[in-house]
Structure 1
Amino acid sequence: MAILRAGSCLLIFYLILNVHGKSGSSEKRTFVIDYDNDTFSMDGKPFRYISGSIHYSRVPYQYWDDRLHKMAAAGLNAIQTYIPWNIHEPEEGKIDFSGQQDVVTFLETAQKYNLSVILRSGPYICGEWEFGGLPAWLLKSDNLKVRTMDPNYIKPVGRWLTRLYAELKPMLYKNGGPIITVQIENEYGSYEACDYDYLRFLRDLARECLGNDTVLFTTDGDSDGFLKCGTLPDVYATIDFGVTYTPEKNFEIQRHKEPKGPLVNSEFYTGWLDHWGENHSTIATSEVAKSLDLILALGANINMYMFEGGTNFGFWNGANYPYQPVPTSYDYDAPLSEAGDITEKYMTLRSVITKYNPTAMAVPPSTPKKAYGKVIMTFASTLYDMANLKDPVMSTYPLTMEQLDSYYGFVIYKHIFKSQVSGPLDLSGVRDRAYVNVIRDKKVVLSAVVERDTSNMTVSVDVDAGDFVLVLVENQGRINYGGEMNYNHKGLISNVTLNNITLTDWEQSAFGWDPSQRMLIPSNSFLVPVAKAPSLPSFYAGVLDVEEPQDTYLDMSLWTKGQLFINGMNMGRYWPHRGPQVRLYIPKYALNAGSNLILMLELEQAPCHHSNSKCYVEFMDQPLINATVPQSIHRGISQDTKPLWRWLFDLIMSIIFSEWNLFSF
């Protein structure tokens, strides 16, 4: 088995060398751990890295150069990045290393600025990323146990990592590239499985594919309990911790596992993550700077998580448990803002870093921002009239998104009532948020919102024979941390009951998102006969005219909750009524010189219902990700209608039936 894996690694490696036209460096390059001197050694000389995290999946690829340039100008000599498996293999067996997924180009850009690379190859990455970087198609296997030797997990893991390592082997330092270390798994000591066979499998596969002389490491929290299940012999154990004024005490934990070798903090937190409905997280610059100085004074190696946070475009945000989805912004209060701007924290930390690693590189300027002003948004259609949907699937009981082979976004469920009945409609199987509409004679007679893990997941209904219920279920992002990752199915994951009687005979159709999260041309209209009403989940559209595209922010404060598309690109979720994020970052590469189509799927309540004068969005030149967070809002949905502008409808339809691309910046 090991020989077969090694042979596969070598074969793919040589094929990739021929494709890329790369060959090993004629000059011997080495990167090793010098245990005698408690340091790393690069080409026989002591080496200490001062690194920052940046996720290539969260930064438009056109901006990789800009962000890496700024990181080098801060005095960093290394970067750290995750490999999200799910963006590279969104469909089983179909692997993509192009465009936004072109990790080799990202690594080459880092090398251009003399930045070494600390690679966190997964397969699990956490990172507040959808399913912790694992592809959702894994969930098609019954009773899946991720991050273990479960055959339904480990077989695709082995195939993926063999292919990934072959792609990246030419980028190892010894082969002339920038990669100096490779992480095995990610904070495995925090996971309940504690499967050493799994860790050994990952270690051995990395050795076979990358060579025994590649420095492998693990990262875990700074306690003996975390290190117990997260470490292995022959894999260097590192720890992570945030602001502290006594870092020597934190490093004592690492010394319990690694008595000799370099001190390493693989995640020193410059900020923290956000959740919808919670205040924006910040850590005072002065505290981060003081702690950083103390760590560097010890001679330790450090990676700052994050140095550039970026954006969860599309549906790529993760969630924590109890269920808390992460916003579109992943700013993280990092030294470089979500848009890559120079901040006070950047300049302060730069002054600390350059004490230990001087640089003559000037700090590049922040990118220009443009306030384009207001764009009038016009009601175009309800979701049910205009949706691009896969062929409807009939079933006795509701199917999950995974059973429908549709992993992101939304799915619509439809049930026709066979007799008059009233009582509680139990939707406790909703994952994650449902928009419920009862339809009678083409009119909406009931609307409600049901959210997972809340105290009341029932809706009181009074229906006649022939009435039907539409349940639009939104996948708000899969859990990326902890044992609940094994229960990440979306849609309706259990039966629906009315008066404790299970409802049977369901029709369901998922949106036609392809693996790149583009909307497909519908093969079946699945049009629902409902009177058009902007109170239903509905599309709104407007046109922005631009002479010269620049980065900007779209203010969504008048709207409630939904999804934003610009020129077909899925820019992410908005939810200003939950907060703290109110404005979405729009990189200039999403805009065209000339006309730009702004399309919103408003799921709950548009401002147009109250006043046409408020039916707009506004492009601003400043972010707003730290708004005051109100209490949870579940606003009633009314049934007013709004006329449809035929010319705008035609325009929208022509765009929707073309490709909707997440990353074609």
Structure 2
Amino acid sequence: MITNFVFLSLLSYACVVLNAAFGPRTFSIDYSHDCFLKDGMPFQYISGSVHYFRIPRVYWKDRLLKMYMSGLNAVQVYVPWNFHETEQGVYNFAGDRDLEHFLYLANETGLFVILRPGPYICAEWEMGGLPAWLLQKPSIMVRTADPDYLQAVNDWLAVLLPKVKPWLYSNGGNILSVQVENEYGSYFACDYNYMRHLRALFRYFLGDDTVLFTTDGNTNREMTCGTLQGLYATIDFGTDTNASVAFDRQRRFEPRGPLVNSEFYTGWLDHWGEKHAHVDTEKVSSMLGEMLSMGANVNMYMFEGGTNFGYWNGADCDTRYRSVVTSYDYNAPLSEAGDPTDKLLAIREVIKKFRDVPLGPMPPAMPKFAYGFVTMKKVSPTNLLYLSCFQYYGYMLYRTKLPRMVPDPTPLISPLNGIHDRAYISINGVYQGFLERDTQLVMNVTGQEGDQMDILVENMGRVNFGSKINDFKARLNYSHLQILYTQASGLVSNLILGRDVLTDWQIYSLDIDGTIASGWPHSEVAQHHPGTISKSSDGPTFYMGTLEARGFAWDTFLKLKGWTKGQVWINGVNLGRYWPQRGPQQTLYVPGPLLSSSQPNNITVLELEGAPVDTRILFLDRPQLDSITKRS
């Protein structure tokens, strides 16, 4: 019989043997041999970016498995602050926001993780991932050492980073390295004190042995302002760049250590009114092979783009405001719906030359179905939707009276480009037209003194990149109560009608999503309020219909041919914006898990300008993302 002492001695000896055989789990930089070391051995990662916040949770495993079967050994992922802390101090990591479950699935699949937790991420995401509630302090300077901003960052990272720490590779998880901030060299501030503060925070929560890095664009200015001692400097570039020249630039800032392209662009983003982005497959595969042959570590941005559901798309504002489309397909190796493409197969063939690719077939595309036409019926416009005091996304209604008679067409002017971002104007419920940020600042109206003017203002996404990310959606100086309403969308300066400055506004923040999620207009759950947005089929008008999924709920694509611009909800879930009259995107991706195969599926459409005579909508089995029609 073995005594407890002998048993414990044998167990202790076994642990020593195992530790000697496998050693502690480590990931580090070998500056002598210009490579990463994993458990003391040279390591090269081949990674792809995927965003859990742009993909339904039930599809995470499918996407990760397809990445693994493509030959990748790592996945790179952002963490959008505003997705998890939409309201200050209220944190949400459940459901589609369950970051730790995503990390678990990646680990279970056999993929390491390159984590990019911000606090700023860009990603063509609303305000670059920064929460809109930061703008409640108008003077705040985000991405700097501004004390108010730093306090908010401190509070957020004190919640996020302890969740991340157990997933570090050294702690038995799969996170190899962690990025601090994101492409900071592209920001005008160049505030090294801010970066030092972040470095100290990350070290405090994640420890001194964690590999921390920065990523910046391929210019001297970006690399100068975005890098900091103690953070490993990496670079990003696409197929229009000479790889050797780009890596020479990285070498100026990191003379020794691994070569790393943290964002190798497999495609590009789309803006409304511009051509669908396309990056040649042969160029992508050729440059990937070139970089891997140099021993470089490469992350492909994106490997799957996904979808900007709801109001989460960002915008650019370099020369003018340009909103990012709902689809984030990105012309990536996996399509918006997660389908393997020719680009993925070409990349897989390249990777085979450098490492063993898992045996077995590539998981197939999810089944698609063309459900056909659904007729939409106009909803009685006698209900003003629920109001909300705390709303940062969506729509706001501004209401006032005409100060005098205007029998002849009279200019309604946004003199200081004060519409953020698009406004739909009605007089006594009759639609007059729209004003749009940077592009249409004047329109004519007529009416009688005392007529009711309604202006429904749409937030089309806060700027996600550059010096204008403090993208206020309303800043009119009225009562304190009204200021509470001014974060969703709206006016940042006064409007002028002829010679009169319009005043005495009533301001309503419309909780459209909450109202529809509660069952309206398909049930009588929603409360009724007096008021109207539009009396005709022109201007902001709601439509409803139902889809029968015929015994199975598969992915599908919704096309609104002849419709102008608006928003779609299915079973209370906001699919995003449509704008076929501007393009290039013509269809909205509808994930199968949103549909019921046994119950009618409720469809709600908010058409903002004008529906066609034929109010049918069409469900197809394939997307259409590349059709420019006309500018409206």
TM-score between the two structures when normalised by the length of structure 2? 0.89
Q: Answer whether contact 2:60 2:102 (CA < 8 A) is retained.
A: yes
Distance 1:277 1:466 in 2: 38
Offset at residue 523 of structure 1 (A): 9.8
Q: From the superposition, tell whether residues 615 and 499 of structure 1 become closer, same or farther in structure 2 (CA, over 3 Å).
A: closer
Offset at residue 54 of structure 1 (A): 0.1
User: How far does the alpha carbon of each residue in 1:603-655 deviate from its partner, in whole angstroms, 9 at most, with x for none?
Assistant: 111112xxxxx22111111110011x13312xxxxxxxxxxxxxxxxxxxxxx
Offset at residue 425 of structure 1 (A): 2.0
Partner of 2:123: helix, strand, or coil? coil
Q: Answer whether contact 1:389 1:509 (CA < 8 A) is retained.
A: no
Q: Answer whether contact 2:384 2:532 (CA < 8 A) is retained.
A: no
- AA matched with 1:624: Q
1:98 aligns with 2:94: yes
Q: From the superposition, tell whether residues 176 and 497 of structure 1 become closer, same or farther in structure 2 (CA, over 3 Å).
A: same
TM-score between the two structures when normalised by the length of structure 1? 0.85
Aligned counterpart for 1:460 among listed residues 444, 450, 455: 444
What residue is the counterpart of 1:426 in the other structure? 413
Q: How many matched pairs?
A: 583
User: How far does the alpha carbon of each residue in 1:243-285 deviate from its partner, in whole angstroms, 9 at most, with x for none?
Assistant: 1574122100000011110000000000011000001000110
Q: Answer whether contact 1:310 1:330 (CA < 8 A) is retained.
A: yes
Of stretches 284-293 and 489-498 in structure 1, the one that deviates more from structure 2 is: 489-498
Partner of 1:435: helix, strand, or coil? strand
Counterparts of 1:316-395 in structure 2, within 5 Å, are: 316-321=312-317, 322-362=320-360, 363-382=362-381, 385-390=382-387
- AA matched with 1:471: I
- AA matched with 1:476: M
Offset at residue 358 of structure 1 (A): 1.2
Aligned counterpart for 1:52 among listed residues 44, 48, 52: 48
Distance 2:498 2:365 in 1: 59
1:493 aligns with 2:492: yes
Q: Answer whether contact 2:516 2:572 (CA < 8 A) is retained.
A: no
Partner of 1:386: helix, strand, or coil? coil
What residue is the counterpart of 1:288 in the other structure? 284
> Which blocks of at least 5 consecutive residues in structure 1 are unaligned?
1-25, 392-403, 609-613, 634-665
> Which blocks of at least 5 consecutive residues in structure 2 are unaligned?
1-21, 474-488
Q: Pairwise CA RMSD of aligned residues?
A: 2.0
Distance 2:254 2:283 in 1: 28
Counterparts of 1:73-92 in structure 2, within 5 Å, are: 73-92=69-88
Offset at residue 355 of structure 1 (A): 1.3
Q: Answer whether contact 1:390 1:523 (CA < 8 A) is retained.
A: no
Offset at residue 517 of structure 1 (A): 10
Aligned counterpart for 1:552 among listed residues 542, 551, 556: 556
Q: From the superposition, tell whether residues 136 and 243 of structure 1 become closer, same or farther in structure 2 (CA, over 3 Å).
A: same
Distance 1:529 1:329 in 2: 31
Counterparts of 1:83-482 in structure 2, within 5 Å, are: 83-243=79-239, 246-321=242-317, 322-362=320-360, 363-382=362-381, 385-390=382-387, 405-421=390-406, 423-427=410-414, 428-439=417-428, 444=430, 447-454=432-439, 456-482=440-466
Distance 2:621 2:82 in 1: 33
Distance 1:223 1:536 in 2: 46
Distance 1:515 1:258 in 2: 50
Offset at residue 492 of structure 1 (A): 0.8
Q: Answer whether contact 1:513 1:520 (CA < 8 A) is retained.
A: no
Aligned counterpart for 1:574 among listed residues 574, 578, 586: 578
Q: Answer whether contact 2:37 2:43 (CA < 8 A) is retained.
A: yes
Distance 2:526 2:371 in 1: 37
What residue is the counterpart of 2:14 in the other structure? none
- AA matched with 1:494: S
What residue is the counterpart of 2:619 in the other structure? 619
Distance 2:78 2:289 in 1: 26
Q: From the superposition, tell whether residues 254 and 517 of structure 1 become closer, same or farther in structure 2 (CA, over 3 Å).
A: farther
Q: Answer whether contact 2:564 2:579 (CA < 8 A) is retained.
A: yes
Identity %: 49
Q: Answer whether contact 2:540 2:608 (CA < 8 A) is retained.
A: yes
Distance 2:108 2:616 in 1: 43
Q: Answer whether contact 2:396 2:507 (CA < 8 A) is retained.
A: yes
What residue is the counterpart of 1:528 in the other structure? 531
Offset at residue 525 of structure 1 (A): 4.9
Q: From the superposition, tell whether residues 354 and 416 of structure 1 become closer, same or farther in structure 2 (CA, over 3 Å).
A: same
Distance 2:75 2:467 in 1: 29
Of stretches 505-514 and 342-351 in structure 1, the one that deviates more from structure 2 is: 505-514
Distance 2:558 2:629 in 1: 20
Partner of 1:472: helix, strand, or coil? strand
